[in-house]
Amino acid sequence: MIKKKLSLIIISVILFLSIIFVIFKVYSEKTPEPVIINSNESKTFNYDYYVNINSNKDNPNYISINFIVDITPKIDGDFKNIVATAYINDKVQEFIAVKSYYTFGVSDKEPLYMNRNDSENKGISIARGTWLYNDIDLDKLIDSLNLGIDLEINWDNGFEKVHIKDVNITKY
């Protein structure tokens, strides 16, 4: 009788530990972090990055800067529930007078749709405008802008994380 109880306890403990091990194994497996690719290597989207730097006639103490990223599909198909976020690089952040909101894009509260064959929804543009002090070293700013910008884009059937190196800078 004692042998049966002892065997039952040992089997129960082994079964319990096995279940705990399986649960721990399932919950401890993490989804790998997506790899950042060069935007030119994307098989899904074209990315164009523009920066406009404008002197401010109304307030000579500041210069305005606008970051714009255009995203258009390279392939046919519907891209639904698009959420895109661009990240201004750390070097450029040092020049920004208003120290907040170093990201910009389309939130999950307002997801978008695009299809390259749809005349009204061929692509999306995301943008952010902010201020710079007028006494900045413009050459250093341009060097920092030329480091590029990172962008994450999610849609119903996919995810892509890219680094956009090529920037078109316009100074007014």
Collect all residues with Cβ–Cβ distance below 8 Å to 134 and sequence separation of at least 6: 55, 56, 60, 61, 62, 63
Give the residue numbers spanning the domain of 24.
Answer: 1-30
Whether residue 46 is found in the same domain as residue 9: no
Whether residue 20 is found in the same domain as residue 51: no
CB–CB of 158/44 below 8 Å? yes
Residue 34: the pLDDT is 65
Whether residue 22 is found in the same domain as residue 82: no
CATH code of 115's domain: 2.60.40
Whether residue 13 is found in the same domain as residue 43: no
pLDDT values of the chain reduced to their tens digit, one per residue, 172 residues: 677 776 777 777 777 777 777 776 666 665 556 688 889 999 999 999 999 999 877 778 889 999 999 999 999 989 999 999 999 999 999 999 988 789 999 887 887 888 888 888 889 999 999 999 888 999 999 999 999 999 999 999 899 999 999 999 998 8
Whether residue 151 is found in the same domain as residue 83: yes
Question: Which residues is 104 bridged to in the sheet?
Answer: 86
As a whole number of Å, the CA-based R_g of the chain is 25
What CA–CA distance (Å, rounded) separates 85 from 52? 19
Whether residue 56 is found in the same domain as residue 88: yes
Count of other CB atoms within 10 angstroms of residue 144: 18
Whether residue 18 is found in the same domain as residue 70: no
Domain count, the chain: 2
Identity of residue 169:
I
CB–CB of 162/36 below 8 Å? yes
